[in-house]
Structure 1
């Protein structure tokens, strides 16, 4: 509960600052991804460095998780963090919280053998939460947090994607 009290305090301080000066909430996240070898990629953003790759059976070397793993992890962790932040804000004690992401896909779209869309056909998220709060309180918490979850919005709604190309002649 001490952690949740600290989360609540910081949540309220940031909310107050953003209410007074909304421009503080505006930003642009920038990551760079480069092919290291074959299908293996290195992703950097700020001080963080990640690696992705594809399984050997599709030409990768399996030196890291696939982009799909990171995408599902982004959604699951964003939901879990959002639930904990809002539980703290709403004084709802959480003993444990887990989010499982299941995403259905057809790899035939990636390899040009299927007419389906290359993205997920359906995403399901299951929440396991242990709390002394009532089911009604938990349901309210989940509904509020879902409305404010950035990655649930990214996954649920089309985003405006703009491609720009810089060509360097070899």
Structure 2
């Protein structure tokens, strides 16, 4: 289990390495997704492998959490991990962290019923629950500094350039 000293040590080592060699901060991550069984996706990244799906009521196999669940989970876990890291670096004791993420959506956009409605989330909210013997000012410092530097919160907060490339191949055995 990662204790505050381990977390702080790793964070400071990484910070020092990037400060000495800024090019080490840049990289590209690739995650592959393959559709199986109509709606079940197999997600692979490095040595991790998991399933994503939609529920049976939506025509899916319910073989794993849906994309919206993963979006909320990504935000909540990024914030919780960030609070833990920042508290460790600052030497502020934390006993427990929970982040509750809520999203509002209107399915009419996703179901092609209303082109004026976005198909994705209309709003996101998160509630941070922290148990700590530290002062409110210390806890708020951890939260505010972390929120400012959270990569997933940043991803949700600003438009990111997106490129699409499509590669089409013919089914095996098919001739042109």
User: Shorter-chain TM-score: which interval?
Assistant: over 0.9
Kindly report structure 1 stretches of 4+ aligned residues shifted beyond 6 Å: none
* Mapping 1:6-155, distance limit 5 Å: 6-114=6-114, 115-155=116-156
Gaps of 5+ in 1: none
SS in 2 for 1:144: helix
Cα deviation for residue 13 of structure 1 reads 1.2
Q: CA RMSD in A?
A: 1.1
Cα deviation for residue 160 of structure 1 reads 0.7
Alpha-carbon distance in 2 for matches of 1:128, 1:78: 14
Alpha-carbon distance in 2 for matches of 1:48, 1:62: 20
* 1:60-97 C-alpha deviation (Å, 9 max, x unpaired): 01111111111111111000000100010111100111
Greater Rg by CA: 2
Alpha-carbon distance in 2 for matches of 1:10, 1:156: 27
Equivalenced residues, count: 169
Larger RCO, structure (CA 8 Å, separation 6 or more):
1
* 1:79-129 C-alpha deviation (Å, 9 max, x unpaired): 000010001011110011110100111111111012211121111010000
* 1:34-67 C-alpha deviation (Å, 9 max, x unpaired): 1111111111111111111111122101111111
Alpha-carbon distance in 2 for matches of 1:49, 1:71: 17
Alpha-carbon distance in 1 for matches of 2:4, 2:57: 45
Alpha-carbon distance in 1 for matches of 2:16, 2:77: 25
SS in 2 for 1:109: helix
Alpha-carbon distance in 2 for matches of 1:134, 1:36: 50
Alpha-carbon distance in 1 for matches of 2:6, 2:51: 33
Cα deviation for residue 11 of structure 1 reads 1.1
Cα deviation for residue 148 of structure 1 reads 0.8
